[in-house]
Amino acid sequence: MANPFFELISKLAIRAPYLLIAAVFAVTLLLGISALSVSMLSDNMDFFPTDSPIRHNIEAHDRDFGTGSLLLVIVAPDVTEPEIFEMMVRLKDDFLNSDQVSGVSTPSDLLLAKYGKIPDKQVIEQEFLGTGAMPDKSSVSMRLHLKSYDKYKADSVAAELLKIIDFTEKPDGVEIKAIGDPVIGYQIGTSITESASIMFGVAMLLMVVLLYLFSSGAIRGRIMPLLPVTVAMISAIWTFGMMQIFEIPVTPMTSGFLPILIGMSIDYGVLIQSRYEEEIQSGKEAVDAIAIAVGSTGRGVFLALVTTVFGFSSLLFTWVPNLQYFGLTLTFGITSSYIISLLFLPPVLLLREKGGVAKKTDRAAAGKDNIGDTMGRLSRFTVDHSLPVFAVMLLVTAAGAYGYSNVSFLSDPMKYFPDTMQLNQDFKFLDIHFGRGDEVTVVVKTYDARDPDFLNDLLSLGNYVRDGEDKVRKTTSIATLLVDRYGSIPDDRAQVSAFIDSLPEKDNYIFGNSETALRFDTAMLFGAESGLTERRIRNAITFYDPSIDFYIVGSPSFKEGLTRGMVTGQNTMTVISFILVALSLLFFYRSLRQSLFPLIPIAITLAVTGGAMYALDIPHT
């Protein structure tokens, strides 16, 4: 008995083909307009659920102390020239006119405070050469302290800061590298846009080639084998439009949905079109062929759609926004491709037949189905040699499962991008010249952050942690800035308070009178080192004074939390996806045995994929 829904689709395709095609293109136009406004987001916080303590602490720190800082590295043949330091003064003035900048720290500040002017080259060399600010004569650094900003406005903030750099008058041969948030996100967003365009183009080209190679024997005509490509293109437009409507941003993770969507969209179209062509070649009229293709293949494809949607919907149970975005995006995409395949392909196929009856010449034009013949021979081979095939698959699955359990996790987001990317080139420059590292920030809560006794304790605490932890290179706080200025912490609270209020970067170190930031510069930390270093710092603070009220943010806690979240999220979504797929199959088949049997190839595929990742040293990301 025909399904009423698929029977209705067939009748609409036969009686009102132009109406269906017009409806598809109208929706495509509306969603295409919506897609033009889809937002880009490269904020790492969306790797963590909204109730994550790590996310809560980082957001609290950014709210109270600003979003962070931007390192500017000035590269020139000889940075000890006075004109370089005069340029820093101009840069500082320009940046302080921006609403996004709370303060600017430059080596020029120290020279002006000490000498009242920018001195000659010899004095500059004596003051800075070989220090952290000027490791050699080819580079010198300054730092911008930024106010808090909306993560969705990060690109505009970065563009404003980069514009200031571009328009500042520079001596000949001088280059300024901007490294840090939000420029990192801005460059990542640009890379995502470029990569997504390339991925889409390459995927479409590959699909065109493959369809021509493998559909020439089963699909008539020169253009018709490419009809499923149209389905994929329309599906992509619909998906981007839905992303805008449901406020799903394009992120480094969601940008990878395009190749998956293209492949699955073309699959749905090929299945319906191939079944239609089989019926035509068997001698049926076009209207009957459409009814059979939509009625039989449409139901089978719908089952595939439901199980796939349930599989991707398991990502919603990870409570990690980036994974949720990815799952929703693919759900929108594959659902759109199914709808388009049902509503767009049948009327187009019928209109091609010019009146609903296929020409005999067209029927004869279809060649031998080489792919079908090959698959038939392969099926017969596996049936005839079932035991050896089963043994081989068992061994491959066992080896793959072993490899899957040993696949590593990559928790440094910067490693997700190619070494040739300008951002990674800049970080390599920092590694060579400045010894790039991570930063751990300890936010200490107190009754009076300007009290000299408290600041002396803060200074001692910072020195205690730095001296006891080999990964910590330097500590910076209001206390260390006071020592740099006066040689020690002044006893007069009024003097301390006046100094703090005079600091351009005050907001990056103190919030009101109740919180202050103690920042530790560390060596670059990877893998287990990240979590271990944070725990050692935490334990050192607790050992120093158990009564201290504090929380920790920074790269190490981010990396450890990201790794832990990936492990937990992967296990959770794998289990839930199997359960959801099994339930959907049980609903359709009404048989426990039939619903569990398709899970076997899924498990084998997962194991083999994991084994290949292990063999090729491809980490989880």
561, 581, 612 — which closes off a domain? 561
Q: What is the pLDDT of residue 205?
A: 85
CA distances from 448 to 66, 110, 308, 451, 477 (A): 20, 28, 57, 6, 15
Q: What is the CATH number of the domain that holds 511?
A: 3.30.70
Considering Cα of 249, then 252, then 253, then 257, what sign does the dihedral take?
positive
Q: What is the pLDDT of residue 423?
A: 66
Same domain, 222 and 353: yes
Same domain, 227 and 314: yes
Q: Rounded distance, CA 340 to CA 268, Å?
A: 9
On whether residue 595 sits in a domain, the answer given is no
Same domain, 290 and 348: yes
Same domain, 236 and 332: yes
Evaluate whether 461 touches 518 at the Cβ level (below 8 Å).
Answer: yes
Q: What is the pLDDT of residues 89-121, one digit of tens each?
A: 999 999 888 888 888 888 898 888 888 999 999
Same domain, 377 and 236: yes
Q: Rounded distance, CA 158 to CA 82, Å?
A: 28
Same domain, 77 and 175: yes
528, 561, 594 — which closes off a domain? 561
On whether residue 285 sits in a domain, the answer given is yes
On whether residue 102 sits in a domain, the answer given is yes
Q: Which two tokens stand for residue 83?
A: 């004109």
Give the angle subtended at the CA of 122 by the CAs of 119 and 126, to the nearest 5°.
95
Q: What is the pLDDT of residue 31?
A: 94
Does the pTM of the predicted model rise above 0.85? no
Q: What is the pLDDT of residue 365?
A: 47
Same domain, 117 and 15: no
Same domain, 447 and 485: yes
Q: Which two tokens stand for residue 235?
A: 């599906």
CA distances from 173 to 69, 76, 430, 526 (A): 26, 6, 19, 36
On whether residue 126 sits in a domain, the answer given is yes
Q: What is the pLDDT of residues 241-268, one digit of tens each?
A: 999 999 888 877 777 788 888 888 888 8
* Residue 143, strand partner residues: 71, 105
Q: Which of 547, 555, 543, 518 shows the shortest CA–CA distance to 443?
A: 518
On whether residue 316 sits in a domain, the answer given is yes
Evaluate whether 569 touches 563 at the Cβ level (below 8 Å).
Answer: no
Same domain, 437 and 487: yes
- Identify the DSSP state of 256: G
Q: Which two tokens stand for residue 483?
A: 């020592």
Q: Which of 301, 312, 286 shows the shortest CA–CA distance to 339?
A: 301
Same domain, 128 and 277: no
Q: Rounded distance, CA 319 to CA 48, Å?
A: 8
How many domains does the chain fold into? 3
Do strands 437-445 and 549-554 pair parallel, antiparallel, or not at all (unpaired)?
antiparallel
Same domain, 12 and 91: no
List Cβ<8 Å contacts ≥24 apart for 419-424: 421/187, 421/191, 422/187, 423/179, 423/184, 423/187, 423/188, 423/191
Evaluate whether 434 touches 135 at the Cβ level (below 8 Å).
Answer: yes
Same domain, 373 and 291: yes
For residue 116, the enclosing domain spans 70-181
561, 593, 611 — which closes off a domain? 561
Q: What is the pLDDT of residue 434?
A: 66
Q: What is the CATH number of the domain that holds 342?
A: 1.20.1640.10
Q: What is the pLDDT of residue 451?
A: 92
Positions of the chain with pLDDT lower than 70, given as ranges: 1-2, 41-56, 58-68, 149-152, 215-218, 221, 319, 354-372, 410-424, 427, 430-437, 504-505, 524-528, 556-569, 621
